[in-house]
Structure formats: structure tokens, C-alpha cells
A and B are shown apart, each in its own frame.
Chain A
Amino acid sequence: MRPALLATVFLIASCGLAYELIAGTLASYLLGDSVMQFSTVIGTYLFAMGIGSWLSQYITGRLALRFVQIELLVGLLGGVSAAALFLLYAWVEGPFRLALYLLVLLIGTLVGLEIPLVMRILRQHIGFRDLVSQVLTFDYLGALVVSLLFPMVLAPQLGVVRSAFLFGLLNVLVSLWTIRLFRDELPVRALHLQCGLAALLLSAGFIGSDRITTLAEENLYADRIVYTETTPYQRIVVTRWRDDIRLFLNNNLQFSSRDEYRYHEALIHPALATLPHPARVLVLGGGDGLAVRELLKYPTIQSITLVDLDPAMTRLFSQYPQLTQLNQNALTSPKVQVVNADALVWLEQDAGRYDFIVVDFPDPSNYSVGKLYTEAFYRLMDRHLKEDGLAVIQSTSPMYARRAYWTIVTTLEAAGLQATPYHALVPSFGEWGYIIASHHPYQPPRKFTVPLRFLSPESLPPLFNFPPDMARVPAEVNRLNNQSLVRLFESEWREVIR
């Protein structure tokens, strides 16, 4: 009887410390500031154990039965603790900290009951001096083993959620062991049934912990991923969190539905609102159809040709309900012709001339895309621009990539175009830059005739004013044979993004 009960002490001590470590780890993982999380979790836990010890005096009879019941409860609560906290954090914006400390308090209290009860049970078999010495020895030994095993083996191999279920099962095992030792004084059948149910639940959790983790992480990190596709050109990811839809191309944020109207209104209307009768429009890039949505507000526009490289992009934004709601079915409008082609190749072949050209390419982060920001490209674009027409170019951030931005301005000028730079604040991007290219001096519009949320005649003038931290800097012309822009862009953004 004595060695068996001492083994029990070893196991319950292991489990007790394990729950404490699991709670601490999870709290640091989710909330950060691990010193704070571990300190408060351990403090709460030890305090709760004190409560448990104090409460143990009120347990008078049927010690073995109470011990088995407490073990089962500890096993259940501790076993599901990690999974429950994880899911709670991911799915409910509820009071996570409150739940965390309540759970720690509860488990701590129950664990605090264990040792006093075991000691009282063992007192019938061992003298007090040996009892204290041996129980505490095994208690600390169990703690040592788990404190080493958890960070080195269990957390990395099994993960926090699965480890918790494993310790829960150990507690159930201790219960079964105790039932066996005291089978004469316990309602064996009823207790076995309870143990079986607990074991079943914890085993299910143990097996399913990967799915629980995925479920929680999906929610945790990229909001909820509602669509992914890897095309020959890029990886498309659409996420949704509440009413915020975000598009990522190769992990770069393209828009957030919360503020994309700012980006797209600023892209389209300052130029388009000054054209008296825009009829033919060309959009290069912009496969999300959001720029086209803004264009379609103008009844004079008869045709919009959208040239985007990736058919998967334009298909997604023509068919996927949440996205077509966002672009108001712009891509399926009878006025819109979608062409999936390499813009450079297409422009060389197309003979059309347009009133308005929207250039909405990805940022010049490599030599391949960099070709779309060169003097040669702007000369090619110019061949398609009517004499009184306007073009607008999205041109990265004049704040974060100031020299890159002014390089684009300088390049447009080298291509023989007049460049009018302006900028707008798009919270999810920061301060963003655009350039209007034209053959004649550009004058901002005095009024807007279409419904807008961001732009107004009053809010427009400051967009053309560049404060000193974004003011013009001398820049090289970006050419096919130097591509100075790509290097600048890379180095400037490297300063900003860690």
C-alpha cells in the first residue's frame, strides 16, 4: 500500500505542476509578456493550492472516495484547460484573463486538496515523521520531472493542448489506481463508470487536439481565411474578420474592405472628375474590380478595358459573392471587358487610345514588375493616351519610400509627360502616393458629381500639398537598363518593415 500511494503522490505532483506550466505557457503565447504571465499564473496557482489545503480540514469522512472524486475533477478540468482557453481566446472576444485566472484558481484549489488528503490516508500506515518526509520528497520529485519534461519534450513534441489532455488522462489513471487500492470501501462500479467517461472525453481531446489547434489558430492569425488559391503568377488569400475582408497577394496586403474606398476614391476621382466626357477607359492591373466600381459611377463612360495578368484574380472577383458585393459586380458590367494578359505585351499590340488610363500595378519589388515603372513603359502608355486624356499611377508611399516615389515622378517627366503628384491617407497602408500624368497642366476638380465617402472639394487641396517629410527629392530616371527604382524601393521599405 505504501509504495503505491507514494507513486500516486509522484503522479499527482507531476500533473499539478503541468497544469500550472500549461496555463503559464498559453498565457504568454497568447498575451505576450511571459514574465508577467508566468509570475501571475504561478502566484495564483500557489495561492489556490493554499486555499485547497485550508479547505481540506472540512473534508472529514470517506477520504478515499473524496480523493478519487477530486482526482477525476482535476483530470477533467486540467485536461481540457488548454483547449478551452485556446478556443475561448480565438472565438470569443470574451474576458479571456478572467477565465484564465478562474480556471487556474479552480485547478489550484483542487490540487491543493490532494496532498493533505493523501497524507491523511497514509497516516494510517506510516509514522508522521516518515510521512512528511516521504510525501514531500515524491511531491518535489514529480515536480522536477515534469518541469524538465514539459519544455524539452512535451511542449515541442505534443504541443500544449495535447499535453494537457495527456496529464488529464494521468489523473484518471491515478483515480483508477486508488479505486483498486481501496476497492473494499468504495462504490467501485459507479466510480469506474465515471472514470470511463472522463477517460473517453480526454482521449477524444488528445486525438483531436490538432484540429482544435488549427481551428483556434485559423481564427487567431489571419482572421478567417475564406479563400486561397495558388496560381502560376501568385498566391491569392482572402480573409474575413467580422466585416473586414482583406486580400493578400503573395502575403502582401492589397486592400482591407474597411478603408479601400479611400484608396480607390483617391486613385480615380481627382483625375476623372476633371474630364468633361470620359468615354473610353483602360485599367492596367486592378483585377479586384474596385477601381472599376468607382469608374462605373460616371454615366458617360462607355467602355472599360481591364488588363490583369491573372485570370484567377478576375474570376474570383467576378464570382465570389462577398467580393462581388464589395466591387458591386463591377467586373460583370456589360461596359467592362476583362483581358487576361501581360500588360506590356498587350499594350504593344493594342491600337486603342483612351480618355483615362488607370495604372494600378503591384509595387516595384522586383525587376520583373519594375519594368512596369520604366520610362519605356510610360512612353508605351503615352501612345495609348488621348491628347486631352489623363492617366493615374499608383506609386507606393511617399512617406515610407520617398525616393522611390519621386523616382516615378521623375521617370514620368523623362517620358515627356506632365506629372502631378498627390497623396492620401489609407489607414491600412499608411500615407499613399499617386501621380496624374497628362499632356497639359492638370487642374484639380472644383466639384464631384458622384457619391463619395472620402473625397470632397474641400478635402482635396491638401492631397496635392507635400509636407516637408514627403517633399520632392532629386531622383534618377528609372530605365530598363538601370531599374534604379527596384533597389530604392527595396532599401526604403526594408527600413520600415521589420
Chain B
Amino acid sequence: MHRRDFLKMLGAGCLSGCTPPAPPFPKGELLGVSHDLGHRLHDGTLPAPNSTRHARVVIVGAGVAGLSAAWALRRAGINDFVVLELEKESGGNARAGENAVSAYPWGAHYLPIPTMESKAVRVLLAELGVLQGDPFAQRPRYDERHLCHIPHERLFWNGRWQEGLMPQFGASREDLAQIQQFDELIAHYRQRRDAHGRKAFALPMAHSAQEADLLALDTVSFREFLLSKGLTAAPLHWYVDYCCRDDFGCTAAQTSAWAGLHYFCCRDGEGSNATSDSVLTWAEGNAWLTRRLAAPVGQRLHTQAAVFRVEEQSRKVLLDVFHAGENRSERLIADHVIWAAPLFALPRIFADCPSDLAAAIAQTSHAPWLTANLTLRQPPTGKSGAPLSWDNVLYGTPSLGYVVATHQRLRVTPAPTVLTYYRALTEETPAQGRQRLLNTPWRVWADDILRELSVPHPDIAQHVQRIDLWRNGHAMIRPTVGFIWGNARARLQQTGQRLHLAHADLSGFSLFEEAQYRGIIAAERVMEQEGLRYVSLVA
């Protein structure tokens, strides 16, 4: 026996003998998008349609883009539409779950204070009572209950929690100087306007300035861009990389510098009681918004409805739809189709898909994500420093940290809670990440998550009751180098005759504002082609 083994054995003996019996390992489920149904779409095993139905507009996909298209149609008084959703529930990336402790998000969980350009977001928030008063005011008032409460965010670094996400305590003088330089660089781009007064980086991104030097930023990675500016500090690069993984599902070395700068520059919306770094958030995340968008759609929303064939004819579009709940298929004959589902699925089912469109879609790539909701008997305790915040991030770990679902709850006393843990699988290629997502058993993920979180929270395992996991192989489009202002995305903008693409994929990154914008643009194009009167929500 080697000495090391002997010591290990001693250690193990002590562990089993000296510590109280460990609580039972938490229970949980492994959930995810309908993988099987997705695959059946193109292996030809679905039944042939046995009925036919006409619809003026068919919206495929009930995520933010599809529900926003429906919202725009409803606002214009058009009610003759159908929304088809592959999953059991609407919401797309804003889907949510709920248990006895709290509602919790499975995806997007906040909305920044809308910019002046995000008109449609403002109108929606006013409609829902979140924004009070004139929706187009420079600094409108927001319902305090939905503004993220203090404490906002904290970072675990060097053995303690610090306030805010930018590494500060433990950073060297040089690091801090570079962080300040970075802030100044961002401030410069935030203020930059073109000859028409357009922002360098606007939200929605379609409103951004089109100056050549700005668009050229798309041809280098965000990491290279920072290095070229002499910004080399490791804590700064960690922070920037974290932001890219969090918003785009890819690393700073993969992200287009234009997209990276867009993230840091575009959010400048303010309120009379909110600053530009304020966000709106809800226990269930952005499902709070999508559920309010879905409710009025009512019977027109069909879930578990898989479109397995699309054919564009001169005056109509034919859609073959499999209703998994009823195990039957039907043919929809639509005047217009708004394709508000992820684009990668389209070429496989689109008869006579134009080859340049298929080629453009082939150039998109999507990030695989894992989301975990941990149900705890009591809020996590542990290492000193800043108190438990809404967003809690761990420096140098593969995850993106966790968000506290009960943060907005109005109560003083500590109570059971749900932590939503996010992880973009960026260590490998998206395809390899998807394989890992598919092949890794629940217990391996659960162990991995608890191991990571027990560094700042040594006793967390004793308080966790459940760990539920959500796997999403194509969670969000990746704004990789060259994609934002390259030919592929330009091709996606070209509209079909009756098949209109409407998805955040068209913007190159998955944000509520972008998805909503694309959905509304498609709806308004339909209305224009139909010669209907409407007041634009985006112009």
C-alpha cells in the first residue's frame, strides 16, 4: 500500500466516522425540449394529414417572437390566426416551472429597462401595468415590485462574496486601471452616434448605425478586440467572457466584437425610479411576460403541434401539422406563415427550400444549455461578504452562477427558496456539447452542481431538496465572428412571398427585445401585403 492510499483510507475512515450521517441525496427530474418529437419530424414516421383547414395567418412557434407576432396582429384587430407550438407549453426560451416553494425560470429571467428604441417593449410593459404613464417618456416610472430589488448581484472570488460582478477585491492596481480603461472604452461607444443620430449599438440591433468601422468590428472576436486595445488583465477577461457566455452562450474568443460591444453599450434605458443598470424581473422569469402574451391567444394556440412539411405555393402556404396530443395530422392552408421557430429546423421540412436560404441557415450555430432549479429548505449560507443577492456568480467556474427565484418576494424572514443555476456548454463545440447534454445522466450533473456550489456554500447539500434539470440543445443562436454583418444573416432578412421568417436568430443573438421585434416586423409585413391598416409598433 502506498502512503498516499493509506492517508486516503485514513481520511475516508474519519469522514465516515466523524461526521453526522449525510442527508439523503436530493431528488429531481431530467427535463428538456421534446427531443423525440423533434426527430420524428424528419424521419417520415408521422401519419399523413386526414383533414384540411384554412387560416389567414399561421404562426409557427409560441416563443417570444411568435407570441409577439400574435400580439401585433391582435392589436391591429386581426384575429384569424393560428399559433402552433411544438412543446407542451408556450414561452420558448422564457419557459418556467413551479413547485410548492416558488415559480422559477427555465430560461430568460429578466428584461433590462427598455431603451428609447425599444418602442414595442415599452408599449407592452405599459399594457401590462409595469410601465406607468407615457410609454414613450424618456424616463417613465416602473412598478417597484417588478424592478429587481437590492441586493442586486455579487461575485464569489478569492474566498469571499463581493458586491457587483466586476472583480474588484483582489484585483491588482494594473487590473483596476484596465477595468477603468474598459469602462471608458464602453462609455465612448455608448455615446457614439452616426450622421443620422443613430446609436452605434442600438436595441433592437436593426436600429444601429451602419458605419464601416463599426461593422468591421464583426470580423474580429471580442477577445482579440480587447487585446488589440491593450486590455490584457485576467479579471477583466474573465468578466467579459462571463458576460458573453451568459448572454450569447459562447466565449469571448468566439463572440463577434460587434456583438460583445452591443451587449455592453445598448442598454441605456432609464426610468424615474430606475437607472440603466436596473432590470425588471419576476419569480418565473420572462414567463411572466409570455404567459400574459399567450393568455389572450386562447384556443388559437395549439401546443404539441409539430409542423413536418411546409410548401410555399403562389398564393398559399401548405403546412402539414402533427398533433401529438391527438396522434393525428392535419393540413393547414394559410395565406401567410410566420415562421417564429428556430431556423435550423426549417430546411428539413421546407419543400423546395431555396438553396441560398438553406446555406445561410446552415451557417447559424446554436449553444447547448443546461438549467438547474435547486429547491432549498432555507436560503444558502456560507462564506462572508456581500449578502445573498438576486444574481450570484462564481469566478472561474464553468457555470454562470445562480439566480434566486424568491428574491422579489416581499418578506423579511428567510424561507425555503429556489435557485436557478445556468450553464452554457462552451467547453466544446456545440455539437459535442449537445452530445454531452444528451448522454450525461442526472446524477452526474447533480453531483457536479453541488460540488461547484459547495465552495461558497459548504453546507448547501444539506439544504437541497430537489434538483430539476432542463436540457436545451439549441438554446440560443451564437453571434460568432462574422455572423452579425456577414452574408448569411443578410440572406435571412430577405422575406419570402408568403413565408415570413421571424425569430431572434435573424438578429444573431437571443434577446427578448430582438425576438419581439422580429415577430412584430413579420406581422406588420403580413398586414402590409394584405393591405390592412395598422399603427406600427416598431417604426
Q: A residues near B, CB below 8 A?
A: 233, 309, 342-345, 348, 366-372, 374-377, 380, 477, 479-483, 486
Contacts and interface: CB of A to CB of B under 8 A. Distances in A.
Which 10 residue pairs spanning A and B have beta carbons closest together? A483-B150, A481-B147, A480-B149, A344-B410, A342-B411, A376-B144, A342-B413, A345-B411, A368-B412, A344-B411
A344 B412 CA distance: 7
Given A367-B151, A375-B144, A481 B412 contact: no
Interface string B410-450: 11110000000000000000000000000000000000000
B412 A309 contact: yes
A343 B144 CA distance: 18
Contacts of B273: 477, 479, 481
A475 to B, nearest CB: 15
| Interface majority SS (helix, strand, loop, mixed), chain B | loop
A482 B410 CA distance: 15
B413 A481 contact: no
A225 B147 CA distance: 45
A321 B274 CA distance: 51
A45 to B, nearest CB: 48
Interface of B: 144-145, 147-152, 273-274, 278, 387, 410-413
Contacts of B152: 481
A309 B147 CA distance: 26
20 contacts: A344-B411, A344-B412, A345-B411, A367-B151, A369-B412, A371-B410, A374-B144, A376-B144, A376-B410, A377-B410, A479-B144, A479-B273, A480-B144, A480-B147, A480-B150, A481-B148, A481-B152, A481-B274, A483-B149, A486-B150
Contacts of A377: 410
A483 to B, nearest CB: 4
A368 B273 CA distance: 20
Nearest to A483: B150
Nearest to A477: B273
A377 B147 CA distance: 14
Contacts, number: 55
Contacts of B145: 376, 480
Contacts of A369: 412
Nearest to A414: B273
A366 B412 CA distance: 10
Nearest to A370: B150
Nearest to A487: B150
A112 to B, nearest CB: 57
A198 to B, nearest CB: 47
A345 B144 CA distance: 17
Most buried by B among A345, A372, A480: A480
Contacts of A342: 411-413
Most buried by A among B148, B412, B413: B412
Nearest to B151: A367
Contacts of A366: 387
A347 to B, nearest CB: 9
Given A375-B144, A481-B144, A481-B274, A367 B411 contact: no
A482 B277 CA distance: 11
Given A344-B412, A486-B150, 4 more contacts: A367-B150, A371-B149, A480-B147, A481-B148
Nearest to A233: B413
Contacts of A486: 150
A479 B275 CA distance: 12
Most buried by A among B145, B150, B152, B273: B150
Nearest to A310: B413
Contacts of B413: 233, 309, 342, 368
Contacts of A479: 144, 147, 273
A344 B145 CA distance: 13
Contacts of B144: 374-376, 479-481
A487 to B, nearest CB: 9
Contacts of A374: 144
Contacts of A376: 144-145, 410
B278 A481 contact: yes
A377 B410 CA distance: 9
A375 B143 CA distance: 11
A371 B411 CA distance: 8
A479 B412 CA distance: 15
Contacts of B151: 367, 483
A480 B143 CA distance: 11
Contacts of A483: 149-151
Nearest to B152: A481
Nearest to B408: A480
Contacts of A371: 149, 410, 412
Contacts of B148: 481
B269 to A, nearest CB: 14
B167 to A, nearest CB: 22
Given A367-B387, A375-B144, A376-B144, A482 B150 contact: yes
A140 B152 CA distance: 68
Nearest to B410: A344
A348 B409 CA distance: 11
A403 B278 CA distance: 24
A488 to B, nearest CB: 13
Contacts of A368: 412-413
A483 B152 CA distance: 11
A369 to B, nearest CB: 6
A345 B410 contact: yes
A481 B144 CA distance: 7
B302 to A, nearest CB: 37
A348 B410 contact: yes
Contacts of A309: 412-413
A227 to B, nearest CB: 23
Contacts of B387: 366-367
Most buried by B among A342, A370, A375, A477: A342
A178 to B, nearest CB: 54
Nearest to B388: A367
A312 to B, nearest CB: 14
A230 B412 CA distance: 18
A372 B150 contact: no
A486 B274 CA distance: 18
A367 B144 CA distance: 16
Contacts of A348: 410
